[in-house]
């Protein structure tokens, strides 16, 4: 999401841009500068804006950091690290889902293929 969209959405959620500035402990002019693109909004501040906008702050932090480091060695290394983390999280999530399904159905992990086809 663009910085401008994050500002608009966050300001709407909290009431207005003055309130947004107060919550972020920054000046109203800083928000104006971010909105107009005259000053850079850091990945950390984008994450804070996203959170106030009701969006995923962590996801915005990652997105903003990757944008900021795009085309650099640092950016390529971060993409690699994040890719590994995503695969590890995905594998762990799959294990949890399979465990929950087996507990819910009262079946063992070995029974799952049979149950997926029509356990009853």
Q: What is the reported pLDDT for 40?
A: 95
Domain ranges of the chain: 3-69, 74-118
Q: What is the reported pLDDT for 82?
A: 81
- Name residue, tokens 């005259």: 38
| pTM beyond cutoff 0.85 | no
Query: Which residue intervals of 37-111 are DSSP H helices?
Result: 43-52, 57-69, 73-105
CATH architecture of 3-69: Orthogonal Bundle (1.10)
| Nearest-angstrom CA–CA distance, 60 and 46 | 6
Which parts of the chain sit beneath pLDDT 70?
84-120
Helix-, strand-, coil-residue percentages of the chain, each rounded to 5: 80, 0, 20
Could you read off the pLDDT of 12-25 as tens digits, one per residue? 999 999 999 999 99
Under DSSP, is residue 53 helix (H, G, I), strand (E, B) or coil? Answer: coil
């Amino acid at each position: 999401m663009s910085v401008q969209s994050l500002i608009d959405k966050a300001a709407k959620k909290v009431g207005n841009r003055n309130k947004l500035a107060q919550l972020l402990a920054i000046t109203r002019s800083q928000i104006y500068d971010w909105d107009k693109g005259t000053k850079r909004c850091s990945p950390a501040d984008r994450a804070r804006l996203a959170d106030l906008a009701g969006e995923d702050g962590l996801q915005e932090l990652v997105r903003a950091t990757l944008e900021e480091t795009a085309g650099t060695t640092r950016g390529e290394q971060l993409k690699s690290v994040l890719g590994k983390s995503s695969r590890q999280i995905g594998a762990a999530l799959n294990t949890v889902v399979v465990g929950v399904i087996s507990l819910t159905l009262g079946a063992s992990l070995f029974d799952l293929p049979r149950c997926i086809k029509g356990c009853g």
